[in-house]
Amino acid sequence: MIFNTPTIFASVALVALIMAFCLILVGQENKRDGMRAGGAGLLAHALAYCCFTLYGQVPLWLTYGVGNTLLALALAFYAASLLRIHGQPVPWARIFSLPLLMAVALTALIDTREPRMFAACLVLILQCLLIMAWTWRYARNGGRAYLLLLIGGGISLIGLLLRVAAIATGAAADLPYNVSNLRQTVSVSIGTVTVMMFSLGLVLMAKERSEAALRDMALHDALTGIANRRAILETFERELERSRRAGTALTIALLDIDHFKLVNDTHGHLAGDAVLQQAAALLRQRLRQSDEIGRYGGEEFLILLPDTGGDGALTVINELRTAVAAQPACFGDLVLSYRFSSGLWCGVPGPGDSSDSLIAQADAALYEAKAAGRDSVRMAPARRS
Ligand SMILES: Nc1nc2c(ncn2[C@@H]2O[C@H](COP(=O)(O)OP(=O)(O)OP(=O)(O)O)[C@@H](O)[C@H]2O)c(=O)[nH]1
């Protein structure tokens, strides 16, 4: 099926214009989520296609030169939007050097046919490759929206390579923007797909990123960055179930910083915060990757040691006590020594053990450790069968 080329250009321009309006409007709300840059890209895309629509009616430098420069500008904005969405600084000079290169090349080559077409394709190919490379780099952050950008970039590349092939085989004469033939229909339709894929990809990517950020906030403690109470309790439920099914030992340890109120009262709340942050970082760093730690309460941490029995647990907790004693927290010029007491529950969880009952036992052991003078460890008595 062959479509009228200027009509397709005009339709794409209209769609891109509407989407640009929506993105720029929504982007006003959050200036850092990349939507405004995406909207600017769509606006440039729409204007580029308006220029192409006028092919043959206005001078070539306007339709071809300005049109392709706007197209390069659109891709530069898409790249900027991609980086913004991932919270990266945008290398504006690097990104916009390619539209500049397009403008310079087309100004120099506008009166030639094949060289100017070749130069335009080359710059656009470079930009697509750049967007695809950056998209691939951020693909490991999760989500699926990156696929839309990769598909859009891939389709765009195919279209551009087909154009290059046409130029190389002497078929460039078939490709002016006001001629309607199968080659042009395919080429311009590819441009349409690119607009849709890039804009939808960027919007969905921003949505995935903000959802991931919310998920992260919901599961991590804002002060220390380790798991919050909800997250560590969820992990505890999973570990409990796993140990029960596998019949393996599990240790839970409640750690409470001794006389922490004194730190706050003597040096202020910010100093207390620094102790909590540095204690959490030190404990996390000293534990194995498979162990879990979360902030259970104010100055209390819950540690899960899977596949660890009583002797191993005592060794781990005593190593943590030694590490804490050797590495006091710092707050400005202050060096703040701190110690902790710990209550442990160790064993193979049975059918009657729940997370609440095990925590209650570890808590009772912690109480004993505090009552015994602090800076010590106590283990909940083994269950009698
Ligand atoms: N700086 C800071 N302090 C906190 C935070 N959360 C809880 N606290 C403080 O931690 C202190 C806990 O005090 P207590 O429960 O009396 O315990 P303690 O002074 O450590 O005494 P023992 O546990 O008996 O050794 C309180 O003063 C809380 O205000 C926090 O996020 N930052």
pLDDT of residue 66: 96
The predicted model scores a pTM of 0.76
Q: Is 197 exposed, middle or buried (0-12, 13-18, 19+ CB in 10 A)?
A: buried
Is the domain of 137 the same as that of 194?
A: yes
- Looking at the structure of the chain, the number of domains it has is 2
The mean per-residue pLDDT over the stretch 290-315 comes to 96
Q: How many CB atoms lie within 10 A of CB 317?
A: 21
Residue 268's region, left for phi above 0, alpha for psi from -120 to 50, else beta, is left
| 144 CB neighbour count, 10 Å cutoff | 11
Please write the tens of the pLDDT for every residue from 294-306: 999 999 999 999 9
**Distance separating alpha carbons of residues 364 and 221, to the nearest angstrom:** 25
Strands 250-257 and 340-347: antiparallel
Q: Are residues 203 and 273 in the same domain?
A: no
Q: Which of 194, 217, 240 is the last residue of a domain?
A: 217
Each residue's pLDDT tens digit, 215-273: 999 999 999 999 999 999 999 999 999 999 999 999 999 999 999 999 999 999 999 99
Hey, is 385 helix, strand or coil? coil
In the three-class reduction of DSSP (H, G, I as helix; E, B as strand; rest coil), residue 158 is classed as: helix
Same domain for 183 and 258, yes or no, is no
Same domain, 83 and 44: yes
With a Cβ cut-off of 6 Å, ligand 1 is lined by: 223, 256-262, 264, 269, 272-273, 276, 298-299, 370, 374
Q: Are residues 253 and 193 in the same domain?
A: no
How much distance in Å is there from the Cα of 257 to the middle of ligand 1?
8
pLDDT at residue 314, as a whole number: 96
pLDDT band at 34 (very low <50, low <70, confident <90, very high): confident
Atom of ligand 1 lying closest to residue 273 CA? 1
Give the ligand 1 atom nearest the CA of 269.
1
Residue 344 in this model has a pLDDT that exceeds 70: yes
For 211, phi then psi, to 5°, come to -65, -40
Residue 32 DSSP symbol: T
Residue 33 is predicted with a pLDDT of: 78
For residues 324 and 354, state if they share a domain.
Answer: yes
325 with 189, same domain: the answer is: no
Distance between CA atoms of residues 319 and 251, nearest Å: 15
pLDDT in tens, 169-213: 988 776 788 888 888 888 888 888 888 899 899 999 989 988 988
User: Of the residues 217, 238, 260, which one is the last residue of a structural domain?
Assistant: 217
For 112-169, how does the pLDDT look when each residue is reduced to its tens digit (9 = 90+)?
A: 989 999 999 999 999 999 999 999 998 877 788 999 999 999 999 999 998 899 899 9
Q: Are residues 85 and 188 in the same domain?
A: yes
Mean pLDDT, rounded, of the chain: 93
pLDDT(1) > 80? no
Contact 137, 173 (CB under 8 A): no
* Per-residue pLDDT at 32: 73
Residue 384 has pLDDT above 60, yes or no: no
Indicate if 211 and 234 belong to the same structural domain: no
Q: Which residue has the least CA distance to atom 29 on ligand 1?
A: 261
Q: Compute the residue count for the chain.
A: 385
Distance in angstroms (rounded) separating the CA atoms of residues 206 and 131: 16
Active-site residue, 319 included: no
CA-closest candidate to residue 319, choices 227, 224, 255: 255
First to last CA, the chain: 80
Shared-domain flag, residues 315 and 371 = yes
63-84 mean pLDDT: 95
**Final residue before a domain boundary, out of 191, 217, 243:** 217
Is there a single domain that holds both residue 50 and residue 120? Answer: yes
Q: Are 206 and 76 part of one and the same domain?
A: yes
CB burial of 7-25 (b: ≥16 within 10 Å; e: otherwise) equals ebbbbbbebbbebbeebbe
Give, using CA atoms, the residue closest to atom 12 of ligand 1. 261
Residue 313 lies in domain = 229-379
Atom of ligand 1 nearest to the CA of 270: 1
Distance 336 CA to ligand 1 centre (A): 15
Q: Output 269-273 pairs: Cβ under 8 A, ≥24 positions apart.
A: 270/331, 271/331, 271/334, 271/336, 272/299, 273/223
Cβ atoms of 316 and 252 within 8 Å: the answer is no
- Determine which one of 299, 300, 319, 368 is catalytic: 299
